[in-house]
Amino acid sequence: MAKTTPQNPAREITHCHKVTVTADVEDGPSGESTSKTATVIIGNPPIGCFTFAEGGKGWTPEDKAEVAAAAARIAQYKTYTATLCNQGAIRVFRGTVAKEGESGHVIGKDIYLFDKAFAGIHQLSYTLSHESAHVYAKVDGAVAFSGFANSGATIKEGILPTYPSKYLNNINIIDEDFAETIGLYIIRREFKFLGATNIFEMPNKWPLHYQFARNNIFGQQD
């Protein structure tokens, strides 16, 4: 059976532009320059049930554009998104106070994104995908917890190495490994590395993680 490679709507509806301005400053250095990179939304991206919630740090247009692009990557996976969204909208907040090294977390079914998540579109896509899986686990815990635990992925292959080892003593291993599995599955085709780890080779490096996600979460959409 031929595999179907999903289209990447985020690539179609966003562009990154770097603008550099150079000017002479009165009583200051001449030719001083500054630059800014921004993501621009073109059209209405399919972002599933993610909604921007006010409160916390507040949203800039640039942050919203990047989150829309990251959400579009998730929304291309129809089976996953249908289950994720079957209890209504998922609110996304621009969080203010993060634990050391934290890029995002979930409270209830609300997702909070912190400054670290906005270090680049690859980091944001990974963070939003990972945190969305924690919401998914609250919608369909039987699959996320019992099903994933019984798959043997964590026991036989270990928690995926992209999850920071310094947090391993204070977490629910199955919960975090499940979320990491979903996060890597969603972004691995476009962002082939996460840090120094090759995640594009997920099917070969961590086949039990990959097969569980493909067969039980993503409806075999690769």
All residues at 6 or more sequence positions from 188 whose CB lies less than 8 Å from its CB, including other chains? 199, 200, 202
Residue 222 lies in a domain: no
Residue 4 lies in a domain: no
Q: What is the pLDDT of residue 19?
A: 43
Q: What is the pLDDT of residue 33?
A: 52
CATH code assigned at 126: 3.40.390
Task: Provide the residue type at 187 as one letter.
Answer: I
Residue 90 lies in a domain: yes
Q: What is the pLDDT of residue 13?
A: 37
Residue 158 lies in a domain: yes
Residue 184 lies in a domain: yes
The helix-helix angle for 173-187 and 121-139 (nearest 10°) equals 130
Q: What is the pLDDT of residue 42?
A: 42
- Nearest Cα residue to 77 out of 133, 139, 153: 133
From first to last of its 222 residues, the chain has per-residue pLDDT tens of 333 333 343 333 343 444 444 445 455 555 555 444 444 444 455 799 999 999 889 999 999 999 999 999 999 999 999 999 999 999 999 998 888 789 999 999 999 999 999 999 999 999 999 999 999 999 999 999 899 999 999 999 999 999 988 888 878 999 999 999 999 999 999 999 999 999 999 999 999 999 999 999 999 999
Residue 10 lies in a domain: no
d(CA 214, CA 222): 7
- The number of domains in the chain is 1
For 97, the domain range is 46-217
- Give the number of other Cβ atoms within 10 Å of residue 152's Cβ: 11
Q: H helices of the chain, where?
A: 9-13, 61-75, 78-84, 121-139, 141, 148-151, 153-157, 173-187, 202-205, 207-212
Q: What is the pLDDT of residue 93?
A: 97
DSSP symbols for 175-201: HHHHHHHHHHHHHTTT--EETTEE-TT
Residue 1 lies in a domain: no
Q: What is the pLDDT of residue 98?
A: 83
Residue 18 lies in a domain: no
Q: What is the pLDDT of residue 165?
A: 84
